[in-house]
Copies of this chain bind each other. A is one copy, B any other.
Amino acid sequence: MNGANALMRTLVDHRVDVCFMNPGTSEMHFVAALDQVQSMHSVLALFEGVATGAADGYARMAGRPAATLLHLGPGLGNGLANLHNARRARSPVVNIVGDHATGHRRYDAQLQSDIETVARNVSSFVRSASSTVDLGGDACAAISASVGPPGGVATLILPADISWSEGASPGRCSQPDQRATRGAPPDPERVLAAARALRSGEPTAVLVGGRALVGTALEQASDLAAATGARLLAETFPARLERGAGRPPVERLAYLAEFTAMQLEGVRHLVLLDARSPVSFFAYPGKPSDLVPSDCEVHQVAGPSDDAEEVVAALVAELGVAVGKGSRQQAIRTDLPTGVLDAQAVSQALGALLPEGAVVSDEGNTSGLFAPSGTAGSPPHDWLCLTGGAIGQGLPVAVGAAVACPDRPVVALESDGSSLYTLQAWWTMAREELDVTTILLNNGSYAVLKMELDRVGADPPGPRAKAMLDLGGPPLDFVQLARGMGIHAARADSAETFSRELARAFATPGPSVVEAIVPPLL
């Protein structure tokens, strides 16, 4: 058996059975192995950032890694931004990067580059396979490293000759210790310290993030907050947040530091449940980066390597909190909007129509700002955010979520500027017939940067600076772009048209795009 075959078999034997790929010559043996290993589901992307973002979205929803297949250093470069987001989401990804044959490297051929240093930037594990015989074992090491905890990007560099040579056999990975995979058990001291804070009577907030924003952990965190009078907050950009009717309502920390400061004002204890201590997204002249009030004590009770669910349960037990008593969101549908189509009308229509069980990949940016409030009382759904701030995540993550959850409707809440980084995702949606509805918020500008240009204290912007944030000349026509990639699309410039097209998209299986022409919010 050649290396490629053994590698692919090792992957599928250990439930890594989806591969998002954009292969080149050095990966051809791996591609050829697809006909030997029928249980590997391979999904072609036209750009590597689509493949890596899809692997991230898949991991967030499936809870286990997909593989990627990228072509040498430049392919890894193209995939890097969404691997950065995956790293911040702590998504397990088995990131396979083809390389020249080992004997070919010394010739410094055109495509030769230093793959390892680029990969290290985003990977918790990097290994360049050096022997076909050991490749199965390398695959096991990569799978195990990706799963964590904490989950991460495990990069396996695959030289072409290691892939094509014979003598390999599938790796027999050691059975993962389920307990260890879920993370470290609660640390009694940290639990006690947090419990003391929650009992202190002083203003306390519980900041929930990571794996504590789903299932029992989220419910119990809510119970905890209700019982102790603490404020319940979620990190700004969760990898996956369960929300909607019947679920605990959680206020997310704001993107803008000014608003975060208001949210945290007066808080004396901040209990972190799998969340990081809040810092400003960017730095601004004369403003602090650390957003924790100066007289507030931070209690990190569960971190990325901990079993968040167990930690929350331990805290609940320590405090004697009655479970199921926390606040739960009422089912409230917004009314369909009428008249002018703007960011608020879009969120209202989305709230009115969002199907039960939907997965929302949110890269709506400024135009998507009202969407969380509009959908707060919609039927239960998941919300996936821009974890690492590297734009171009939304559509690829939607691809991955749809592959992971073929029976759930997926919504990509996407903005014009951001969509253009990885628009090729639409073609993969069409090819795989994924049930993804893209709401393309077209305000003709990099609106978030208009705001930032002001916030960073730059000189009052002149026309030449403003032109760099303007996407209106020429205007982008997303209906044509979508159709060019084989996907159904319609444009809406009134609230009624938008609602009608959105309803039609939700009612029709397969992908579609609804372009919403909206005025810039700012």
> Is A468 a contact of B107 with CB atoms below 8 Å?
no
Pairs across A and B, CB under 8 Å, 21 listed: A23-B449, A29-B458, A32-B459, A34-B465, A46-B421, A73-B84, A73-B121, A74-B388, A77-B79, A78-B78, A78-B80, A78-B81, A103-B289, A107-B279, A109-B280, A109-B289, A111-B390, A113-B122, A164-B456, A476-B484, A477-B484
Stretch at the interface among A202-210, A396-404, A424-432: A424-432
> Is B164 a contact of A462 with CB atoms below 8 Å?
no
A265-283 interface (Cβ within 8 A of B):
279-283
Whether A340 sits at the interface, judged by CB under 8 Å, is no
> Is B164 a contact of A458 with CB atoms below 8 Å?
yes
Contacts of A38 in B (CB 8 A): 464
> Is B481 a contact of A285 with CB atoms below 8 Å?
no
Whether A377 sits at the interface, judged by CB under 8 Å, is no
> Is B28 a contact of A453 with CB atoms below 8 Å?
yes
A473-487 interface (Cβ within 8 A of B):
473-487
Given the known A-B contacts A289-B103, A390-B74, A431-B474, are A118 and B80 also in contact in the complex, defined by CB atoms under 8 Å? yes
> Is B47 a contact of A420 with CB atoms below 8 Å?
yes
Whether A298 sits at the interface, judged by CB under 8 Å, is no
Whether A498 sits at the interface, judged by CB under 8 Å, is no
Whether A246 sits at the interface, judged by CB under 8 Å, is no
- A70 to chain B minimum Cβ distance, whole angstroms, is 11
Whether A168 sits at the interface, judged by CB under 8 Å, is no
> Is B468 a contact of A31 with CB atoms below 8 Å?
yes
> Is B431 a contact of A424 with CB atoms below 8 Å?
no
Whether A324 sits at the interface, judged by CB under 8 Å, is no
Whether A357 sits at the interface, judged by CB under 8 Å, is no
Contacts of A44 in B (CB 8 A): 467-468
**Cα of A302 to Cα of B205 in the assembled complex, Å:** 68
Contacts of A164 in B (CB 8 A): 285, 456-458
**Cα of A78 to Cα of B417 in the assembled complex, Å:** 15
Whether A49 sits at the interface, judged by CB under 8 Å, is yes
Interface centre among A31, A74, A108, A388 (most CB of B within 10 A): A74
Contacts of A467 in B (CB 8 A): 42, 44
Whether A25 sits at the interface, judged by CB under 8 Å, is yes
Can you name the residue of chain B whose Cβ is closest to the Cβ of A115?
B121
Whether A196 sits at the interface, judged by CB under 8 Å, is no
- Select one of B25, B42, B465, B471 contacting A282, CB under 8 A: B25
**Cα of A275 to Cα of B104 in the assembled complex, Å:** 19
- A394 to chain B minimum Cβ distance, whole angstroms, is 14
Hey, what's the 0/1 contact readout for A15-30 against B, CB within 8 Å counting as 1? 0000001011110110
Whether A499 sits at the interface, judged by CB under 8 Å, is no
Residues of A that sit less than 8 Å from B by CB: 21, 23-26, 28-29, 31-36, 38, 42, 44, 46-47, 49, 73-75, 77-81, 84, 88, 100-101, 103-104, 107-111, 113-114, 117-118, 120-122, 160-161, 164, 237, 279-283, 285, 289-290, 387-392, 417, 420-421, 423-424, 427, 430-431, 448-449, 452-453, 455-459, 461-465, 467-469, 471, 473-487
Please tell me how many copies of the chain the complex holds: 2
- A404 to chain B minimum Cβ distance, whole angstroms, is 20
Given the known A-B contacts A117-B120, A283-B160, A290-B107, are A452 and B25 also in contact in the complex, defined by CB atoms under 8 Å? yes
Contacts of A108 in B (CB 8 A): 279
Given the known A-B contacts A28-B456, A35-B462, A467-B44, are A486 and B477 also in contact in the complex, defined by CB atoms under 8 Å? yes
- Report the 10 A-B pairs with minimum CB-CB distance, sorted nearest first: A474-B486, A35-B462, A77-B80, A74-B390, A481-B484, A480-B484, A104-B283, A101-B283, A32-B458, A74-B81
> Is A74 a contact of B80 with CB atoms below 8 Å?
yes
Contacts of A110 in B (CB 8 A): 88, 237, 281, 387-389
- A162 to chain B minimum Cβ distance, whole angstroms, is 11
Contacts of A468 in B (CB 8 A): 21, 23, 31, 34, 42, 44
Contacts of A474 in B (CB 8 A): 427, 430-431, 485-487
Interface centre among A457, A471, A484 (most CB of B within 10 A): A484
> Is B109 a contact of A113 with CB atoms below 8 Å?
no
> Is B431 a contact of A283 with CB atoms below 8 Å?
no
Contacts of A34 in B (CB 8 A): 462, 464-465, 468
**Cα of A29 to Cα of B457 in the assembled complex, Å:** 8
- Select one of B109, B388, B423 contacting A111, CB under 8 A: B388
Given the known A-B contacts A29-B458, A49-B78, are A481 and B485 also in contact in the complex, defined by CB atoms under 8 Å? yes
Contacts of A33 in B (CB 8 A): 465
Contacts of A100 in B (CB 8 A): 282-283
Contacts of A113 in B (CB 8 A): 84, 121-122
> Is B473 a contact of A28 with CB atoms below 8 Å?
no
Contacts of A427 in B (CB 8 A): 420, 474, 476
> Is B420 a contact of A458 with CB atoms below 8 Å?
no
Can you name the residue of chain B whose Cβ is closest to the Cβ of A36?
B459
Given the known A-B contacts A462-B35, A464-B34, A476-B484, are A417 and B80 also in contact in the complex, defined by CB atoms under 8 Å? no
